[in-house]
Structure 1
Amino acid sequence: MSSQEHELVSEVAPAATSSSFYAAMRVLPSAQRDAMYHVYAFCREVDDVADNGGPREGRLAELECYRFDIEQYYLTGRTTHRTRDLAPFITEYGLLKDDFIAVIDGMEMDIVRDIQAPDWSVLDLYCDRAASAVGRLSVRIFGMDEAHGIELSHHLGRALQLTNILRDIDEDAAMGRLYLPREALQDAGISTTDIATILAHPNLDRACRGIAMLTRNYYNQAERVMAHCPRRTARSPRMMATVYRGILEKLIGRGWNAPRADVRRSKRYVLWAVLRDGIF
């Protein structure tokens, strides 16, 4: 790893270096890896604005600075400290302004009000902004053709985001958030809107299993798309899919009845993803 890469990794660590996404980025050729580090760092910064607490007005104002700087770069080419390191990769890989704005809009959804049992349509919009938009930026860096890239981003982004939602329900609840869709809760016979009551409800497992089955289907669709892509362009997303699908299966095996044991990524799944894709 070059000194520049070390410096960039230190900027996105520990969040990046402790994530499966970091492992998936590390297998890329150096130019693509550098671009992904910078995109990841930008997305982490915006995410931290949403999650780090403080008055909503201040966080919304900070997000607006990111939005303004992105808009200004695409309009005038002027950079700020928020876009300066990202700019060369926007040009090199043709990254789209709308996808950066979508990521910011997704984080704004978390600030305007704490998301609590949204409608499926609202949750799907959130998944598109918070995850699939990142995928649309990434597939351009991976070199995937546009049609396959957009389709993969749609399915894999939702699969990854829903896996996180199913894994982090207790952590999200501590921040006053509940991303489980209202329709899934109602179908399982849960009518209350109180988060603590929902998380202790005996039918929560049924609601979460329904969401998990949909998430499985998103992974299946993502695998179908990747099967039609050149191996080199699908290497990183396939690794992400393998690791996070492993987490989903562990969640299904554990269930969602309280108390819930923590389920995190396993180094075994990361190693399997690497070996399966023949990286070494």
Structure 2
Amino acid sequence: MAITDRKQLLGPLLKGVSRSFYLTLSILPAGMRDPVGLAYLLARAADTIADTSLIAPEKRLELLLSLRAQVNGSPDAAALHEVVSEVARQQKDSDERTLLESLGPALSLLAQFSEADKAAIRGIVSTLTEGMEFDLKHFPDESSGRVVALQQPVELDRYTYMVAGCVGEFWTRMTYAHVTTRLGADEATMIERGVRLGKALQMTNILRDCPKDLRIGRCYLPQTLLDEAGISAEELLDPANSLRARPILLKLLRVALDHYRAGIEYTAALPTFALRLRLACVWPILIGLETLLLLVQNERWLDPQHPSKIRRNDVYRILAGSLPRANSNALLRKWTGKRIAAIEAHIESQTKA
């Protein structure tokens, strides 16, 4: 059943489709909460369309582009009905079905925002769906049995922008639009750092999820790096090749760490008394660094049976430990610095081995 009430859309429904993001959203300043929440809902609906493997990739692409047109202000009730009816009935998760059935009210809610917020929401959803479009066009059908890799590191960098870096940009623009306190850096610098924080988080996801993605034909590790390591994308399907592929992991871990450093500076530039904003950055940074530490310690990082996934209790430990540290740049840099140093020590020792 579709949810039509604004509070229900941005409350229970949002919480149902993303408990972790809802936790972050709940601590945002009031002015940011609704536009960021709606952007997430629309992007999540688009992602559900792109990931519904029971529908042929060509049809998913058609429906995805149709939804993008709806978001960008081309109303078409029949087209929206097709999106909902084609995809919603394929969902086993009731929250995902409700999300798709609530797209009409969500698009109506979009029209109620200021022109600036509407433009920002449309921009972020458009860029995110470009990343989904890339996946559907570049990679084979999930059941094809083939594995296709990206070609160059620059392609990976562009991809991490489309699916996450742009979120850092959007987040920063929302901060400048809705938070009146002065930030510790100019807007252009903060946007660049915000983009890099998004890229850091996506690179972490790519490395963590590599075994799962390979099994649906998607290799985000660039072909040039595979060639340097003397391994093919198909050979990555064998967990026994985790050691052969480790040079690729170590190289991309260094890239991710450089992005995290920019993300830490982004957080440090936020006012120390703006605890909500800082926590919204601190939490994903710390969880991301913990995940990289697990990855660099995982001798079978390509094995889907040995995932580098942070435990729930460790997440709670991070949340609790962040509260007394988040409003101090010195404590923040010390805490994150220890994690980065631990990861780099593992990288260094494995590089020399």
Using the size of structure 2 for normalisation, the TM-score is 0.67
Q: Distance in 1 between matches of 2:174 and 2:292?
A: 27
Q: Which residue of 2 aligns with 1:193?
A: 233
2:168 counterpart of 1:135: yes
2:218 alignment partner, SS class: coil
2:255 counterpart of 1:210: no
Equivalent residue pairs, number: 270
| Worse overlay, 159-168 or 44-53 | 44-53
Cα gap change, 1:83 to 1:7, in 2 (>3 Å): closer
Structure 1 unmatched ranges of 5 or more: none
2:264 counterpart of 1:223: yes
Query: What is the Cα deviation at residue 168 of structure 1?
Result: 0.6
2:115 counterpart of 1:91: yes
Q: Which residue of 2 aligns with 1:32?
A: 32
Q: Are the aligned partners of 1:178 and 1:195 in contact in 2 as well (CA < 8 Å)? A: no
Letter in structure 2 aligned against 1:8: L
Q: Are the aligned partners of 1:128 and 1:158 in contact in 2 as well (CA < 8 Å)? A: yes
Q: Are the aligned partners of 2:139 and 2:217 in contact in 1 as well (CA < 8 Å)? A: yes
Q: Which residue of 2 aligns with 1:262?
A: 307
Letter in structure 2 aligned against 1:242: L
2:13 alignment partner, SS class: helix
Give the counterpart of 1:173 among 209, 214, 218.
214
Letter in structure 2 aligned against 1:263: S
Q: Distance in 1 between matches of 2:282 and 2:115?
A: 26
Query: What is the Cα deviation at residue 220 of structure 1?
Result: 0.7
Q: Which residue of 1 aligns with 2:187?
A: 146
Give the counterpart of 2:10 among 8, 11, 16.
8
2:109 counterpart of 1:109: no
Letter in structure 2 aligned against 1:30: A
Structure 2 unmatched ranges of 5 or more: 81-102, 141-147, 177-182, 329-353
Q: Distance in 1 between matches of 2:111 and 2:321?
A: 35
Letter in structure 2 aligned against 1:43: A
> What RMSD, in angstroms, separates the aligned Cα atoms of the two structures?
2.9
Q: Are the aligned partners of 2:164 and 2:199 in contact in 1 as well (CA < 8 Å)? A: yes
Cα gap change, 1:88 to 1:274, in 2 (>3 Å): farther
Q: Which residue of 1 aligns with 2:334?
A: none
| Worse overlay, 171-180 or 135-144 | 135-144
User: % of aligned pairs identical?
Assistant: 25
1:270 alignment partner, SS class: helix
Q: Are the aligned partners of 1:163 and 1:244 in contact in 2 as well (CA < 8 Å)? A: yes
2:108 alignment partner, SS class: coil
Q: Are the aligned partners of 1:100 and 1:133 in contact in 2 as well (CA < 8 Å)? A: no
1:173-212 deviation digits (Å, cap 9, x = unpaired): 232211112222222232x231554654231222112111
Q: Are the aligned partners of 2:39 and 2:124 in contact in 1 as well (CA < 8 Å)? A: no
Query: What is the Cα deviation at residue 242 of structure 1?
Result: 1.9
Q: Distance in 2 between matches of 1:6 and 1:271?
A: 29
2:28 alignment partner, SS class: coil
2:90 counterpart of 1:57: no
Letter in structure 2 aligned against 1:42: L
Q: Are the aligned partners of 1:47 and 1:107 in contact in 2 as well (CA < 8 Å)? A: yes
Q: Are the aligned partners of 1:49 and 1:59 in contact in 2 as well (CA < 8 Å)? A: yes
Q: Distance in 2 between matches of 1:137 and 1:206?
A: 33
Q: Distance in 1 between matches of 2:44 and 2:138?
A: 20
Using the size of structure 1 for normalisation, the TM-score is 0.83
Query: What is the Cα deviation at residue 96 of structure 1?
Result: 6.1
Q: Distance in 1 between matches of 2:220 and 2:286?
A: 23
Letter in structure 1 aligned against 2:18: A
Query: What is the Cα deviation at residue 264 of structure 1?
Result: 2.7
1:40-91 deviation digits (Å, cap 9, x = unpaired): 11111111111121111211111111221233269xxxx9825222344463
Q: Are the aligned partners of 2:42 and 2:125 in contact in 1 as well (CA < 8 Å)? A: no
| Worse overlay, 33-42 or 195-204 | 195-204
2:154 counterpart of 1:121: yes
Query: What is the Cα deviation at residue 10 of structure 1?
Result: 2.8
